[in-house]
Structure 1
Protein backbone atom coordinates (compact mmCIF):
# COMPACT_ATOMS: atom_id res chain seq x y z
CA UNK A 1 0.00 0.00 0.00
CA UNK A 2 2.80 2.42 0.87
CA UNK A 3 4.48 1.78 -2.49
CA UNK A 4 1.20 2.39 -4.33
CA UNK A 5 0.72 5.70 -2.50
CA UNK A 6 4.26 6.81 -3.36
CA UNK A 7 3.68 5.94 -7.01
CA UNK A 8 0.37 7.85 -7.04
CA UNK A 9 1.99 10.92 -5.45
CA UNK A 10 4.82 10.81 -7.98
CA UNK A 11 2.43 10.54 -10.94
CA UNK A 12 0.44 13.52 -9.60
CA UNK A 13 3.68 15.54 -9.46
CA UNK A 14 4.50 14.58 -13.05
CA UNK A 15 1.04 15.68 -14.21
CA UNK A 16 1.45 18.97 -12.35
CA UNK A 17 4.62 19.62 -14.36
CA UNK A 18 2.56 19.65 -17.55
CA UNK A 19 -0.04 21.99 -16.07
CA UNK A 20 2.52 24.43 -14.65
CA UNK A 21 4.56 24.57 -17.85
CA UNK A 22 1.53 24.99 -20.08
CA UNK A 23 0.02 27.65 -17.81
CA UNK A 24 3.21 29.72 -17.78
CA UNK A 25 4.06 29.45 -21.49
CA UNK A 26 0.53 29.66 -22.90
CA UNK A 27 -0.25 32.79 -20.87
CA UNK A 28 2.95 34.48 -22.04
CA UNK A 29 4.33 34.73 -18.52
CA UNK A 30 7.66 33.33 -19.72
CA UNK A 31 9.16 31.81 -22.84
CA UNK A 32 9.85 28.04 -22.90
CA UNK A 33 13.64 28.17 -22.44
CA UNK A 34 13.39 30.75 -19.67
CA UNK A 35 10.91 28.48 -17.92
CA UNK A 36 13.21 25.48 -18.35
CA UNK A 37 16.19 27.39 -16.94
CA UNK A 38 14.33 28.59 -13.83
CA UNK A 39 12.86 25.11 -13.38
CA UNK A 40 16.22 23.35 -13.45
CA UNK A 41 17.90 25.97 -11.26
CA UNK A 42 15.10 25.76 -8.67
CA UNK A 43 15.23 21.97 -8.68
CA UNK A 44 19.00 21.98 -8.20
CA UNK A 45 18.72 24.49 -5.33
CA UNK A 46 16.03 22.45 -3.57
CA UNK A 47 17.99 19.20 -3.86
CA UNK A 48 21.22 20.78 -2.64
CA UNK A 49 19.32 22.29 0.31
CA UNK A 50 17.93 18.87 1.23
CA UNK A 51 21.42 17.38 1.05
CA UNK A 52 22.73 20.14 3.33
CA UNK A 53 19.91 19.55 5.83
CA UNK A 54 20.77 15.87 5.77
CA UNK A 55 24.31 16.80 6.74
CA UNK A 56 25.89 15.42 3.60
CA UNK A 57 27.79 17.09 0.82
CA UNK A 58 27.62 16.07 -2.79
CA UNK A 59 30.56 14.67 -4.70
CA UNK A 60 30.38 15.90 -8.27
CA UNK A 61 32.47 12.99 -9.55
CA UNK A 62 31.95 11.00 -11.60
CA UNK A 63 30.04 13.27 -13.96
CA UNK A 64 26.64 11.67 -14.70
CA UNK A 65 26.89 12.14 -18.45
CA UNK A 66 23.90 9.98 -19.38
CA UNK A 67 21.72 11.42 -16.62
CA UNK A 68 22.58 15.04 -17.43
CA UNK A 69 22.08 14.68 -21.19
CA UNK A 70 18.82 12.75 -20.91
CA UNK A 71 17.45 15.22 -18.35
CA UNK A 72 18.45 18.15 -20.57
CA UNK A 73 16.73 16.60 -23.61
CA UNK A 74 13.59 16.15 -21.54
CA UNK A 75 13.62 19.65 -20.05
CA UNK A 76 14.17 21.49 -23.34
CA UNK A 77 11.85 19.36 -25.48
CA UNK A 78 9.13 19.44 -22.81
CA UNK A 79 9.12 23.23 -22.43
CA UNK A 80 9.31 24.02 -26.14
CA UNK A 81 6.54 21.54 -27.03
CA UNK A 82 4.05 23.39 -24.83
CA UNK A 83 4.16 26.36 -27.16
CA UNK A 84 1.66 24.49 -29.35
CA UNK A 85 0.35 21.53 -27.32
CA UNK A 86 -2.25 21.49 -24.57
CA UNK A 87 -1.26 20.13 -21.17
CA UNK A 88 -3.22 16.90 -21.52
CA UNK A 89 -2.34 16.26 -25.15
CA UNK A 90 1.34 16.95 -24.51
CA UNK A 91 1.37 14.53 -21.60
CA UNK A 92 -0.30 11.85 -23.72
CA UNK A 93 2.39 12.10 -26.39
CA UNK A 94 5.18 12.31 -23.82
CA UNK A 95 4.26 9.21 -21.86
CA UNK A 96 3.29 7.23 -24.94
CA UNK A 97 6.82 7.75 -26.25
CA UNK A 98 8.23 6.88 -22.81
CA UNK A 99 6.32 3.61 -22.77
CA UNK A 100 7.46 2.62 -26.26
CA UNK A 101 11.09 3.47 -25.48
CA UNK A 102 11.17 1.64 -22.16
CA UNK A 103 9.47 -1.46 -23.54
CA UNK A 104 11.90 -1.48 -26.47
CA UNK A 105 14.84 -1.34 -24.05
CA UNK A 106 13.28 -4.08 -21.90
CA UNK A 107 12.85 -6.35 -24.91
CA UNK A 108 16.36 -5.75 -26.24
CA UNK A 109 17.88 -6.49 -22.82
CA UNK A 110 16.01 -9.78 -22.53
CA UNK A 111 13.42 -8.84 -19.90
CA UNK A 112 10.51 -11.26 -19.55
CA UNK A 113 7.33 -9.31 -20.20
CA UNK A 114 4.60 -11.83 -19.48
CA UNK A 115 1.35 -12.09 -21.44
CA UNK A 116 -0.79 -10.03 -19.05
CA UNK A 117 1.69 -7.17 -18.72
CA UNK A 118 2.15 -7.10 -22.48
CA UNK A 119 -1.63 -7.06 -22.98
CA UNK A 120 -1.89 -4.16 -20.55
CA UNK A 121 0.77 -2.22 -22.42
CA UNK A 122 -0.92 -2.84 -25.77
CA UNK A 123 -4.29 -1.75 -24.37
CA UNK A 124 -2.87 1.43 -22.88
CA UNK A 125 -0.93 2.29 -26.01
CA UNK A 126 -4.02 1.62 -28.14
CA UNK A 127 -5.78 4.33 -26.18
CA UNK A 128 -3.01 6.78 -27.06
CA UNK A 129 -3.05 5.70 -30.70
CA UNK A 130 -6.81 6.26 -30.83
CA UNK A 131 -6.31 9.78 -29.56
CA UNK A 132 -3.45 10.71 -31.89
CA UNK A 133 -4.53 8.90 -35.06
CA UNK A 134 -4.57 11.30 -38.06
CA UNK A 135 -8.04 12.37 -39.05
CA UNK A 136 -9.37 12.58 -35.52
CA UNK A 137 -11.09 15.65 -34.17
CA UNK A 138 -8.03 16.73 -32.20
CA UNK A 139 -5.38 18.60 -34.21
CA UNK A 140 -1.78 17.80 -33.25
CA UNK A 141 0.98 20.25 -34.20
CA UNK A 142 3.81 18.24 -35.87
CA UNK A 143 6.62 20.39 -34.44
CA UNK A 144 5.18 20.20 -30.95
CA UNK A 145 4.74 16.44 -31.25
CA UNK A 146 8.35 16.05 -32.45
CA UNK A 147 9.69 18.11 -29.54
CA UNK A 148 7.64 16.10 -27.06
CA UNK A 149 8.96 12.91 -28.64
CA UNK A 150 12.50 14.09 -27.91
CA UNK A 151 11.41 14.84 -24.35
CA UNK A 152 9.87 11.38 -24.01
CA UNK A 153 13.01 9.59 -25.17
CA UNK A 154 15.09 11.71 -22.81
CA UNK A 155 12.83 10.95 -19.84
CA UNK A 156 12.75 7.23 -20.65
CA UNK A 157 16.53 7.00 -20.46
CA UNK A 158 16.60 9.24 -17.37
CA UNK A 159 14.20 6.77 -15.74
CA UNK A 160 16.30 3.79 -16.78
CA UNK A 161 19.36 5.46 -15.26
CA UNK A 162 17.58 5.61 -11.92
CA UNK A 163 16.93 1.88 -11.54
CA UNK A 164 20.34 1.20 -9.99
CA UNK A 165 20.43 4.29 -7.78
CA UNK A 166 21.44 3.66 -4.17
CA UNK A 167 20.94 7.29 -3.06
CA UNK A 168 18.01 8.89 -4.97
CA UNK A 169 18.51 12.35 -3.45
CA UNK A 170 22.22 12.58 -4.26
CA UNK A 171 21.73 11.12 -7.74
CA UNK A 172 18.94 13.59 -8.56
CA UNK A 173 20.96 16.53 -7.22
CA UNK A 174 23.97 15.51 -9.31
CA UNK A 175 21.85 15.18 -12.46
CA UNK A 176 20.27 18.61 -11.94
CA UNK A 177 23.67 20.17 -11.25
CA UNK A 178 25.14 19.02 -14.56
CA UNK A 179 21.92 19.64 -16.48
CA UNK A 180 21.86 23.30 -15.39
CA UNK A 181 24.78 24.62 -17.52
CA UNK A 182 23.45 22.79 -20.59
CA UNK A 183 19.99 24.35 -20.24
CA UNK A 184 21.56 27.73 -19.41
CA UNK A 185 23.63 27.60 -22.61
CA UNK A 186 20.53 26.85 -24.70
CA UNK A 187 18.63 29.68 -23.00
CA UNK A 188 21.44 32.22 -23.49
CA UNK A 189 21.80 31.34 -27.16
CA UNK A 190 18.05 31.78 -27.66
CA UNK A 191 18.03 35.09 -25.70
CA UNK A 192 14.81 34.47 -23.80
CA UNK A 193 12.55 37.34 -22.79
CA UNK A 194 12.56 38.48 -19.18
CA UNK A 195 9.84 36.44 -17.42
CA UNK A 196 6.91 37.99 -15.57
CA UNK A 197 6.75 37.41 -11.79
CA UNK A 198 3.94 34.89 -12.25
CA UNK A 199 6.06 32.89 -14.70
CA UNK A 200 8.97 32.85 -12.26
CA UNK A 201 6.73 31.53 -9.47
CA UNK A 202 5.25 28.78 -11.65
CA UNK A 203 8.70 27.73 -12.86
CA UNK A 204 10.09 27.69 -9.33
CA UNK A 205 7.24 25.51 -8.09
CA UNK A 206 7.70 23.25 -11.11
CA UNK A 207 11.43 22.99 -10.41
CA UNK A 208 11.68 22.79 -6.64
CA UNK A 209 8.53 20.81 -5.83
CA UNK A 210 7.03 18.82 -8.68
CA UNK A 211 10.37 18.18 -10.41
CA UNK A 212 13.05 18.17 -7.72
CA UNK A 213 11.09 16.39 -5.00
CA UNK A 214 9.04 14.40 -7.52
CA UNK A 215 12.14 12.98 -9.18
CA UNK A 216 13.63 11.97 -5.84
CA UNK A 217 10.44 10.03 -5.10
CA UNK A 218 10.58 8.41 -8.54
CA UNK A 219 14.21 7.37 -8.16
CA UNK A 220 13.27 5.88 -4.78
CA UNK A 221 10.40 3.88 -6.29
CA UNK A 222 12.16 2.61 -9.41
CA UNK A 223 14.35 -0.10 -7.82
CA UNK A 224 11.20 -1.66 -6.33
CA UNK A 225 9.27 -2.19 -9.59
CA UNK A 226 9.99 -3.83 -12.96
CA UNK A 227 11.05 -1.70 -15.93
CA UNK A 228 7.89 -2.59 -17.84
CA UNK A 229 5.69 -1.72 -14.85
CA UNK A 230 7.47 1.63 -14.54
CA UNK A 231 6.71 2.27 -18.21
CA UNK A 232 3.02 1.42 -17.99
CA UNK A 233 2.24 3.14 -14.71
CA UNK A 234 3.46 6.46 -16.10
CA UNK A 235 0.62 6.35 -18.60
CA UNK A 236 -1.65 7.42 -15.73
CA UNK A 237 -0.03 10.87 -15.94
CA UNK A 238 -1.73 11.88 -19.22
CA UNK A 239 -5.12 10.92 -17.80
CA UNK A 240 -4.52 13.09 -14.73
CA UNK A 241 -3.24 15.92 -16.92
CA UNK A 242 -6.20 15.72 -19.32
CA UNK A 243 -8.77 15.95 -16.52
CA UNK A 244 -6.83 18.62 -14.60
CA UNK A 245 -6.22 20.58 -17.81
CA UNK A 246 -9.96 20.65 -18.47
CA UNK A 247 -10.83 21.65 -14.90
CA UNK A 248 -8.03 24.13 -14.24
CA UNK A 249 -6.93 25.46 -17.64
CA UNK A 250 -10.25 25.16 -19.46
CA UNK A 251 -8.90 22.76 -22.10
CA UNK A 252 -11.36 20.74 -24.17
CA UNK A 253 -12.53 17.45 -22.66
CA UNK A 254 -13.91 15.44 -25.58
CA UNK A 255 -15.38 11.96 -25.88
CA UNK A 256 -12.22 10.96 -27.74
CA UNK A 257 -10.10 11.97 -24.75
CA UNK A 258 -12.39 10.13 -22.34
CA UNK A 259 -12.26 6.89 -24.35
CA UNK A 260 -8.47 7.13 -24.66
CA UNK A 261 -8.17 7.76 -20.92
CA UNK A 262 -10.34 4.75 -20.09
CA UNK A 263 -8.20 2.52 -22.31
CA UNK A 264 -5.01 3.82 -20.69
CA UNK A 265 -6.30 3.19 -17.17
CA UNK A 266 -7.53 -0.27 -18.12
CA UNK A 267 -4.14 -1.15 -19.56
CA UNK A 268 -2.39 0.06 -16.43
CA UNK A 269 -4.67 -2.08 -14.27
CA UNK A 270 -3.83 -5.14 -16.36
CA UNK A 271 -0.09 -4.48 -16.14
CA UNK A 272 -0.03 -3.75 -12.42
CA UNK A 273 -2.01 -6.85 -11.47
CA UNK A 274 0.21 -9.14 -13.54
CA UNK A 275 2.45 -11.53 -11.58
CA UNK A 276 6.14 -10.67 -11.66
CA UNK A 277 8.06 -12.59 -14.31
CA UNK A 278 10.67 -14.99 -12.90
CA UNK A 279 13.49 -13.10 -14.61
CA UNK A 280 12.36 -9.85 -12.96
CA UNK A 281 11.80 -11.03 -9.38
CA UNK A 282 15.46 -10.86 -8.53
CA UNK A 283 15.60 -7.24 -9.66
CA UNK A 284 12.88 -5.97 -7.34
CA UNK A 285 12.97 -5.13 -3.66
CA UNK A 286 10.14 -5.05 -1.11
Structure 2
Protein backbone atom coordinates (compact mmCIF):
# COMPACT_ATOMS: atom_id res chain seq x y z
CA UNK A 1 0.00 0.00 0.00
CA UNK A 2 1.45 3.37 -1.01
CA UNK A 3 1.77 6.34 1.35
CA UNK A 4 -1.24 8.24 -0.03
CA UNK A 5 -3.60 5.27 0.38
CA UNK A 6 -2.24 4.60 3.88
CA UNK A 7 -2.96 8.19 4.95
CA UNK A 8 -6.38 8.18 3.25
CA UNK A 9 -7.44 4.89 4.84
CA UNK A 10 -6.15 5.95 8.27
CA UNK A 11 -8.07 9.24 8.19
CA UNK A 12 -11.20 7.46 6.96
CA UNK A 13 -11.15 4.97 9.83
CA UNK A 14 -10.44 7.66 12.46
CA UNK A 15 -13.31 9.78 11.16
CA UNK A 16 -15.52 6.67 11.32
CA UNK A 17 -14.62 6.11 14.99
CA UNK A 18 -15.48 9.75 15.78
CA UNK A 19 -18.66 9.52 13.68
CA UNK A 20 -19.94 6.75 15.95
CA UNK A 21 -20.08 9.21 18.84
CA UNK A 22 -21.68 11.95 16.75
CA UNK A 23 -24.29 9.67 15.15
CA UNK A 24 -25.16 8.15 18.52
CA UNK A 25 -25.73 11.59 20.05
CA UNK A 26 -27.79 12.70 17.05
CA UNK A 27 -29.97 9.60 17.28
CA UNK A 28 -30.44 9.64 21.06
CA UNK A 29 -30.70 13.38 21.77
CA UNK A 30 -32.09 14.87 18.56
CA UNK A 31 -34.36 12.04 17.41
CA UNK A 32 -35.06 10.49 20.85
CA UNK A 33 -34.14 6.97 19.71
CA UNK A 34 -34.29 4.42 22.52
CA UNK A 35 -30.73 3.30 23.45
CA UNK A 36 -31.73 -0.39 23.37
CA UNK A 37 -33.09 0.00 19.83
CA UNK A 38 -30.01 1.97 18.79
CA UNK A 39 -27.70 -0.76 20.11
CA UNK A 40 -29.63 -3.59 18.46
CA UNK A 41 -30.00 -1.92 15.06
CA UNK A 42 -26.38 -0.74 15.10
CA UNK A 43 -25.12 -4.28 15.78
CA UNK A 44 -27.48 -5.78 13.17
CA UNK A 45 -26.50 -3.35 10.41
CA UNK A 46 -22.78 -3.79 11.23
CA UNK A 47 -23.14 -7.60 11.11
CA UNK A 48 -24.87 -7.45 7.71
CA UNK A 49 -22.26 -5.04 6.33
CA UNK A 50 -19.32 -7.13 7.52
CA UNK A 51 -20.93 -10.31 6.19
CA UNK A 52 -21.30 -8.66 2.78
CA UNK A 53 -17.66 -7.52 2.83
CA UNK A 54 -16.51 -11.04 3.69
CA UNK A 55 -18.73 -12.50 0.95
CA UNK A 56 -17.35 -10.09 -1.66
CA UNK A 57 -13.74 -10.76 -0.67
CA UNK A 58 -14.11 -14.55 -0.54
CA UNK A 59 -17.52 -16.18 -0.65
CA UNK A 60 -16.19 -19.52 0.63
CA UNK A 61 -15.22 -17.92 3.95
CA UNK A 62 -18.76 -16.72 4.71
CA UNK A 63 -20.04 -20.28 5.23
CA UNK A 64 -17.17 -20.92 7.67
CA UNK A 65 -17.40 -17.62 9.55
CA UNK A 66 -18.66 -19.38 12.70
CA UNK A 67 -15.21 -20.97 13.04
CA UNK A 68 -13.71 -17.54 13.69
CA UNK A 69 -14.13 -15.06 16.53
CA UNK A 70 -14.93 -16.09 20.09
CA UNK A 71 -17.69 -15.96 22.69
CA UNK A 72 -15.53 -13.78 24.92
CA UNK A 73 -14.92 -11.35 22.05
CA UNK A 74 -18.65 -11.16 21.31
CA UNK A 75 -19.37 -10.62 25.02
CA UNK A 76 -16.99 -7.66 25.31
CA UNK A 77 -18.31 -6.25 22.04
CA UNK A 78 -21.86 -6.31 23.40
CA UNK A 79 -20.86 -4.69 26.71
CA UNK A 80 -19.06 -1.96 24.78
CA UNK A 81 -21.99 -1.30 22.42
CA UNK A 82 -24.63 -1.28 25.17
CA UNK A 83 -22.59 0.85 27.57
CA UNK A 84 -21.75 3.24 24.73
CA UNK A 85 -25.41 3.78 23.82
CA UNK A 86 -26.81 4.17 27.34
CA UNK A 87 -23.94 6.48 28.37
CA UNK A 88 -24.68 8.91 25.56
CA UNK A 89 -28.18 9.47 26.93
CA UNK A 90 -26.62 11.87 29.47
CA UNK A 91 -23.15 12.65 28.07
CA UNK A 92 -22.07 15.12 25.41
CA UNK A 93 -20.29 13.92 22.28
CA UNK A 94 -16.81 15.13 23.24
CA UNK A 95 -17.20 14.07 26.89
CA UNK A 96 -18.18 10.53 25.95
CA UNK A 97 -15.40 10.14 23.40
CA UNK A 98 -12.80 11.40 25.88
CA UNK A 99 -13.92 9.01 28.65
CA UNK A 100 -14.09 6.08 26.22
CA UNK A 101 -10.64 6.71 24.75
CA UNK A 102 -9.00 7.37 28.13
CA UNK A 103 -10.44 4.19 29.70
CA UNK A 104 -9.32 2.11 26.72
CA UNK A 105 -5.74 3.35 27.12
CA UNK A 106 -5.75 3.03 30.94
CA UNK A 107 -7.01 -0.55 30.70
CA UNK A 108 -4.35 -1.56 28.19
CA UNK A 109 -1.60 0.07 30.27
CA UNK A 110 -2.86 -1.69 33.41
CA UNK A 111 -2.98 -5.03 31.58
CA UNK A 112 0.64 -4.57 30.50
CA UNK A 113 1.73 -3.57 34.00
CA UNK A 114 0.02 -6.64 35.53
CA UNK A 115 1.77 -8.80 32.92
CA UNK A 116 5.12 -7.56 34.22
CA UNK A 117 5.96 -4.97 31.58
CA UNK A 118 8.45 -2.55 33.10
CA UNK A 119 7.84 1.17 32.62
CA UNK A 120 10.24 4.07 32.37
CA UNK A 121 10.07 7.30 34.35
CA UNK A 122 8.51 9.09 31.39
CA UNK A 123 5.76 6.48 31.21
CA UNK A 124 4.98 6.87 34.92
CA UNK A 125 4.87 10.66 34.53
CA UNK A 126 2.51 10.30 31.56
CA UNK A 127 0.20 7.91 33.42
CA UNK A 128 0.06 10.10 36.54
CA UNK A 129 -0.59 13.18 34.41
CA UNK A 130 -3.41 11.45 32.57
CA UNK A 131 -4.98 10.18 35.80
CA UNK A 132 -4.85 13.65 37.37
CA UNK A 133 -6.46 15.10 34.26
CA UNK A 134 -9.12 12.39 34.35
CA UNK A 135 -9.90 13.04 38.04
CA UNK A 136 -10.09 16.78 37.36
CA UNK A 137 -12.47 16.05 34.50
CA UNK A 138 -14.72 13.67 36.46
CA UNK A 139 -14.93 15.64 39.75
CA UNK A 140 -17.59 18.18 38.67
CA UNK A 141 -19.76 15.31 37.39
CA UNK A 142 -19.98 13.52 40.76
CA UNK A 143 -23.19 15.29 41.81
CA UNK A 144 -24.79 15.36 38.36
CA UNK A 145 -27.01 12.80 36.61
CA UNK A 146 -24.29 12.45 33.98
CA UNK A 147 -22.07 10.64 36.51
CA UNK A 148 -23.96 7.42 35.71
CA UNK A 149 -23.17 8.07 32.06
CA UNK A 150 -19.49 8.43 32.96
CA UNK A 151 -19.56 5.06 34.70
CA UNK A 152 -21.28 3.39 31.74
CA UNK A 153 -18.87 4.91 29.22
CA UNK A 154 -15.93 3.88 31.40
CA UNK A 155 -17.30 0.32 31.40
CA UNK A 156 -17.64 0.52 27.61
CA UNK A 157 -14.00 1.65 27.38
CA UNK A 158 -12.78 -1.26 29.50
CA UNK A 159 -14.83 -3.68 27.39
CA UNK A 160 -13.46 -2.24 24.13
CA UNK A 161 -9.91 -2.51 25.47
CA UNK A 162 -10.45 -6.19 26.34
CA UNK A 163 -12.01 -6.76 22.92
CA UNK A 164 -8.99 -5.10 21.28
CA UNK A 165 -6.55 -7.21 23.31
CA UNK A 166 -8.33 -10.35 22.14
CA UNK A 167 -8.25 -9.05 18.57
CA UNK A 168 -4.52 -8.31 18.78
CA UNK A 169 -3.92 -12.08 18.65
CA UNK A 170 -6.07 -12.48 15.54
CA UNK A 171 -4.62 -13.74 12.28
CA UNK A 172 -7.90 -13.16 10.43
CA UNK A 173 -9.18 -9.89 11.94
CA UNK A 174 -11.94 -9.23 9.40
CA UNK A 175 -13.39 -12.74 9.75
CA UNK A 176 -13.07 -12.64 13.54
CA UNK A 177 -14.83 -9.27 13.70
CA UNK A 178 -17.64 -10.38 11.40
CA UNK A 179 -18.08 -13.56 13.44
CA UNK A 180 -18.23 -11.65 16.73
CA UNK A 181 -20.98 -9.38 15.39
CA UNK A 182 -22.89 -12.34 13.95
CA UNK A 183 -22.68 -14.18 17.30
CA UNK A 184 -24.68 -11.31 18.82
CA UNK A 185 -27.59 -11.69 16.38
CA UNK A 186 -29.76 -13.81 18.76
CA UNK A 187 -29.58 -11.06 21.42
CA UNK A 188 -30.20 -8.42 18.75
CA UNK A 189 -33.28 -10.20 17.39
CA UNK A 190 -34.73 -10.77 20.87
CA UNK A 191 -34.27 -7.07 21.65
CA UNK A 192 -35.92 -5.99 18.40
CA UNK A 193 -38.91 -8.34 18.89
CA UNK A 194 -39.34 -7.07 22.46
CA UNK A 195 -39.14 -3.46 21.27
CA UNK A 196 -41.65 -4.12 18.50
CA UNK A 197 -44.30 -5.41 20.91
CA UNK A 198 -43.64 -2.70 23.53
CA UNK A 199 -42.89 0.43 21.48
CA UNK A 200 -43.65 -0.65 17.87
CA UNK A 201 -40.03 0.33 17.11
CA UNK A 202 -41.28 3.87 16.59
CA UNK A 203 -38.45 5.93 15.13
CA UNK A 204 -38.20 8.87 12.76
CA UNK A 205 -36.59 8.53 9.35
CA UNK A 206 -33.63 10.57 10.58
CA UNK A 207 -33.34 8.27 13.60
CA UNK A 208 -33.19 5.23 11.33
CA UNK A 209 -30.56 6.87 9.13
CA UNK A 210 -28.36 7.87 12.09
CA UNK A 211 -28.61 4.42 13.66
CA UNK A 212 -27.99 2.41 10.49
CA UNK A 213 -25.20 4.82 9.54
CA UNK A 214 -23.51 4.21 12.88
CA UNK A 215 -23.70 0.45 12.39
CA UNK A 216 -23.15 -0.07 8.67
CA UNK A 217 -20.73 2.77 7.91
CA UNK A 218 -19.03 3.98 11.11
CA UNK A 219 -18.78 0.48 12.62
CA UNK A 220 -18.87 -2.05 9.77
CA UNK A 221 -16.98 -0.17 7.06
CA UNK A 222 -14.90 1.80 9.58
CA UNK A 223 -13.59 -1.33 11.29
CA UNK A 224 -12.94 -3.03 7.94
CA UNK A 225 -10.88 -0.05 6.66
CA UNK A 226 -8.95 0.11 9.94
CA UNK A 227 -8.00 -3.57 9.68
CA UNK A 228 -6.82 -3.03 6.11
CA UNK A 229 -4.51 -0.15 7.04
CA UNK A 230 -3.37 -1.37 10.47
CA UNK A 231 -0.66 -3.77 9.19
CA UNK A 232 0.92 -0.83 7.34
CA UNK A 233 1.20 1.39 10.44
CA UNK A 234 3.80 1.26 13.18
CA UNK A 235 2.13 0.50 16.55
CA UNK A 236 3.22 3.88 17.92
CA UNK A 237 1.73 5.73 14.93
CA UNK A 238 -1.50 3.75 15.18
CA UNK A 239 -1.77 4.61 18.88
CA UNK A 240 -0.89 8.31 18.48
CA UNK A 241 -3.30 8.70 15.56
CA UNK A 242 -6.17 7.63 17.80
CA UNK A 243 -5.46 10.61 20.04
CA UNK A 244 -7.29 12.66 17.42
CA UNK A 245 -10.58 10.75 17.76
CA UNK A 246 -11.94 12.72 20.76
CA UNK A 247 -10.99 15.95 18.98
CA UNK A 248 -12.84 14.99 15.78
CA UNK A 249 -15.81 13.86 17.90
CA UNK A 250 -15.81 17.20 19.73
CA UNK A 251 -15.80 19.11 16.43
CA UNK A 252 -18.64 16.95 15.16
CA UNK A 253 -20.59 17.65 18.34
CA UNK A 254 -20.12 21.40 17.89
CA UNK A 255 -21.07 21.42 14.20
CA UNK A 256 -23.87 18.84 14.11
CA UNK A 257 -25.28 18.60 17.65
CA UNK A 258 -24.66 22.24 18.64
CA UNK A 259 -22.72 21.23 21.76
CA UNK A 260 -20.33 23.80 23.27
CA UNK A 261 -16.76 22.98 24.31
CA UNK A 262 -16.07 24.65 27.67
CA UNK A 263 -12.70 25.44 29.25
CA UNK A 264 -12.97 22.56 31.73
CA UNK A 265 -13.34 19.99 28.94
CA UNK A 266 -10.55 21.56 26.87
CA UNK A 267 -8.09 21.56 29.80
CA UNK A 268 -9.00 18.03 30.84
CA UNK A 269 -8.61 16.71 27.30
CA UNK A 270 -5.23 18.42 26.89
CA UNK A 271 -3.84 16.95 30.13
CA UNK A 272 -5.25 13.44 29.58
CA UNK A 273 -4.24 13.13 25.94
CA UNK A 274 -0.88 14.79 26.60
CA UNK A 275 -0.10 12.25 29.33
CA UNK A 276 -1.08 9.35 27.10
CA UNK A 277 1.10 10.71 24.31
CA UNK A 278 4.09 10.78 26.70
CA UNK A 279 3.52 7.08 27.42
CA UNK A 280 3.20 6.18 23.74
CA UNK A 281 6.33 8.13 22.77
CA UNK A 282 8.26 6.54 25.63
CA UNK A 283 7.26 3.07 24.42
CA UNK A 284 8.31 3.98 20.89
CA UNK A 285 11.68 5.26 22.11
CA UNK A 286 12.23 2.12 24.18
TM tier relative to shorter chain: 0.7 to 0.9
CA contact (8 A) 1:10 1:217 kept: yes
CA contact (8 A) 1:44 1:176 kept: yes
The secondary structure found in structure 1 opposite 2:91 is coil
1:175 to 175, 180, 192: 180
C-alpha offsets along residues 117-173 of structure 1, whole Å, 9 cap, x if unaligned? 44334434433332222379x956122122212211211111111112222221111
C-alpha offsets along residues 168-209 of structure 1, whole Å, 9 cap, x if unaligned? 221111111012322443454564542221111111111111
Cα gap change, 1:222 to 1:111, in 2 (>3 Å): farther
1:93 to 78, 84, 99: 99
Please report the TM-score for the alignment, with normalisation by the length of structure 2: 0.83
Please report the TM-score for the alignment, with normalisation by the length of structure 1: 0.83
- Count of residue pairs brought into register by the alignment: 276
The yes-or-no answer on 1:17 pairing with 2:17 is no
Which residue does 1:33 correspond to in 2?
Answer: 36
The yes-or-no answer on 1:273 pairing with 2:281 is yes
CA contact (8 A) 1:165 1:219 kept: no
CA contact (8 A) 1:122 1:267 kept: yes
Query: Which runs of 5 or more residues in structure 1 are unaligned?
Result: 279-286
Q: How does 1:210-249 map to 2 (within 5 A)?
A: 210-220=218-228, 221=230, 234-249=242-257
CA contact (8 A) 2:26 2:257 kept: yes
Find the aligned partners of 1:4 and 1:255 in 2 and give their Cα distance.
31
2:208 to 200, 206, 221: 200
Which residue does 1:283 correspond to in 2?
Answer: none
The yes-or-no answer on 1:259 pairing with 2:267 is yes
Which residue does 1:104 correspond to in 2?
Answer: 110
Deviation of 1:113 after TM superposition, in Å, equals: 3.8
- Kindly indicate which of the two structures has a greater share of residues assigned to helix: 2
Cα gap change, 1:133 to 1:7, in 2 (>3 Å): farther
Q: How does 1:108-119 map to 2 (within 5 A)?
A: 108-119=114-125
Bigger shift: residues 141-150 or 101-110: 141-150
Query: Which runs of 5 or more residues in structure 2 are unaligned?
Result: none
Cα gap change, 1:141 to 1:92, in 2 (>3 Å): same
Which residue does 1:161 correspond to in 2?
Answer: 166
Q: CA RMSD for the aligned pairs?
A: 3.0
Cα gap change, 1:52 to 1:248, in 2 (>3 Å): same
CA contact (8 A) 2:98 2:269 kept: no
Find the aligned partners of 1:115 and 1:223 in 2 and give their Cα distance.
30
